[in-house]
Amino acid sequence: MMWSNQHSCGRVFGALMVLLSFCIGSHAATTDLTFFENKIRPLLADQCYSCHSAKAEKTKGGLRVDSLESLLKGGDSGPALVPGDAEKSLLIKAVRYVDPDLQMPPKGKKLSERQIADLTQWVKAGAPWPETDKAAVRPTKVSHEIAEKDRSWWAFQPIRRPEPPLVTRKSQIVNPIDSFIRAELDAKHLKPNPPATKRELIRRAYFDLIGLPPTPEQIAAFEKDKSPDAWAQLIDHLLSLPQYGERWGRHWLDVARFAQSNGYERDGEKPESWRYRDYVVRAFNEDKPYDQFIREQIAGDELERVTFDSIIATGFHHLGVRDDEPDDKRMAEFDELDDMLSTTGSAFLGLTIG
């Protein structure tokens, strides 16, 4: 099995939580370029670039902080940075407010203890900076305030049953959904199309539910059936066919970024991925409750009652692209974890959190 214990959902989900905490502000002692990009560059851009960058209207004190070369060169007071030695770095002295005549940022806007600690950690680690980086951008102010527009995002709203709008010609309303359609048509001064013929109805039902057309014999039989529940019986019949899950399961497989190969140049096979595909098709055909469908995919090996299906469902975490010949193994590992995190958010939360 591709999803053996080494790929168990518990381990994967635990890794996801580590990655998530890192993304939202974990202060783990990371000293590589990722730490620089997540902590140091945003700090410099937000607090220093307006006065000490290539795009500042006037570079104060002759100092720029938008490149490692500029920091090493320094300004009027000398080199701002001694990689590996925070105590000898003027940058660290300035943000600590050690010298009343050398304070950054000035005017009582001292950095927080956490920000100072991050800068100090970065300098002690040798001040890693991307070798090919030549970017010098203006700071971007990021608001952490949750606006009313954010709170009204559809994914945060409780499920409600809306009241059907009041419409004219109530005799034409067969289903509550008709009221919503009719209200929109009335608002645009449009007339509804005439009712579909039985031939049109059966073709629509077949194409929508199983993706295949009815045979001439099936069309003729439906047209001849005058029973009041002929339409309901047709729908029940189509929902009972295996082709229903095959057609509609494809939509979920797109959400889960299902593929039977890893991508990249080699595009190696995922030998057992078909099991997840068949699980999804089965779930649709068995009308599996959606909450169970979610639990099995996120943590199917951690449920109170673990089943063969719930183990297969955790393949959801392993369906993305996978570089089996990475230049940087560590980066490839985190790219895979980021893919899992991003897909989990977009599939189940209605949020892109990659």
Alpha-carbon span 30 to 329, nearest angstrom = 17
Question: How far is residue 350's CA from residue 228's CA, in Å, rounded to a whole number?
Answer: 40
Residue linked to tokens 């559809």: 154
Give the number of C-alpha atoms closer than 13 A to the C-alpha of residue 32, restricted to the C-beta side: 3
Q: What distance in Å separates the CA atoms of residue 264 and residue 323, rounded to the nearest whole number? A: 6
The residue with tokens 């449920």 is 303
184: left (phi over 0), alpha (psi -120 to 50) or beta: alpha
**Contact present, 22 and 28 (Cβ < 8 Å):** yes
Burial pattern 142-172, b for ≥16 Cβ within 10 A else e, equals eeeeeeeeeeeeeeeeeeeeeeeeebeeeee
Given this model, what pLDDT does residue 241 score? 97
The pLDDT assigned to 205 comes to 98
d(CA 121, CA 27): 11
| pLDDT at res. 24 | 43
Question: What pTM, to 2 d.p., does this model score?
Answer: 0.57
Domain boundaries, the chain: 31-124, 157-195, 243-348
**281 within 8 A of 246, measured Cβ to Cβ:** yes
Amino acid at 57: E
User: Cα angle at 115 between 114 and 119, to 5 degrees?
Assistant: 120
Residue-by-residue DSSP string for 169-201: -GGG--SHHHHHHHHHHHHTT-PPPPPPPHHHH
The per-residue pLDDT for 142 is: 58
CA-CA-CA-CA torsion sign (194, 200, 202, 207)? negative
Q: Do residues 223 and 199 lie in contact, with contact meaning Cβ atoms separated by under 8 Å? A: yes
| 142 Cβ contact list (under 8 Å, min separation 6) | 46
Total residue length of the chain: 354
Question: Cα 228 to chain center, whole Å?
Answer: 47
Closest CA to 219 of 230, 208, 229, 211: 230
Mean pLDDT by 10 residues, the chain (354 residues): 43 45 42 78 86 79 86 86 89 86 80 87 88 51 74 86 86 87 92 93 98 97 96 97 97 94 87 95 96 96 95 93 86 90 90 80
Q: Nearest to residue 93, comparing CAs of 116, 70, 74, 114?
A: 116
For residue 242, count other CB atoms closer than 10 A to its CB: 12
DSSP labels for 306-344? Answer: --HHHHHHGGGGG-S---SS-SSHHHHHHHHHHHHHHHH
Are the C-beta atoms of residues 89 and 49 closer than 8 Å to each other? no
